[in-house]
Amino acid sequence: MSPISLKSDAVCLSVRVQPRSSKSGIAGMYGEQIRICLKSAPVDNAANKECCELLAKALGVPRSSVSVMNGASSRSKVLKVEGMTIAAARASLDPLLRAGSASAS
């Protein structure tokens, strides 16, 4: 199963966040989810905001296009990206996932 899917005209990304990391970034895969390390602590929605900002930058879309669909208070989340196709999301994320997996191992 892919961490990237299409639901109601929006791309959905299944992610696993690791708050309070030493640096923020996409760190490869965590099972069937995209692993994202965040400097922010999971308080006052700071980690969710940083996660959306990081993915918006990686995908080349406005920050307002990325939102938490499910799992706002969980490490496992589903993020919704509007205005993007699955092919474009894969093209943007594949190089980052490969680089993150290589540096994580």
Show the tokens assigned to 102: 């290589």
Number of DSSP helices (H) and strands (E) in the chain, helices first: 2, 6
Helices (H), 1-105: 46-59, 86-104
Task: Report the pLDDT averaged over residues 86-98.
Answer: 91
**Structure pTM?**
0.89
Reported as a pLDDT band with limits 50, 70 and 90, residue 99 is confident
Ordered structural domains, the chain, with CATH? 4-100 (3.30.1200.10)
What is the maximum span of the chain, computed from C-alpha positions, in angstroms? 36
